[in-house]
Amino acid sequence: METSLVGTLSKAGSIHKVVGGYVGLPSMNEPGTVAAIGDSLHNPEGSVMSAGFFELKASEPLVYTYTYDEMKVVIAGEFILTDETTGEVTHARERDVLFFPKGTTVRFETPEYGLGFFAGDRTFAP
């Protein structure tokens, strides 16, 4: 899944900074689902890391299979997460940290709104 870069990048030596990385996230274009995602950084300086924001509004669930390892921190709101393999459910709220191993299929839902910051071990480099 390739996402668009969002925000304005600046550098101070080796330090990369993105301002506004959560503003104007592009839609994931999943029918019935109001979900948006955008990378603030992907593969800076040849790294395999990518990071950005994921937003979900109350709508049909989003089902996603991870093809990479990812960690997510809930910034605002709440996500209801179902492991599609086991059927187990967890609720993640502000400041909760999540880990999704490669190969995991998750159903994302929210009662109203959820915003998460993610960092993933994925590369878009040729």
**pLDDT band at residue 125 under the 50/70/90 scheme:** very low
pTM for this structure?
Answer: 0.89
pLDDT tens digit sequence for 85-104: 999 999 999 999 999 999 99
Residues paired with residue 82 on neighbouring β-strands, in sequence order: 89, 107
The three state secondary structure string of 32-91 is CCEEEEEEEEECHHHCCEEEEEEEEECCCCEEEECCCCEEEEEEEEEEEEEECCCCCEEE
**Quick check: 81 and 106 in contact, CB under 8 A?**
yes
**Which domains occur in the chain, in start order?**
8-121 (2.60.120.10)
Output DSSP code: residue 28.
-
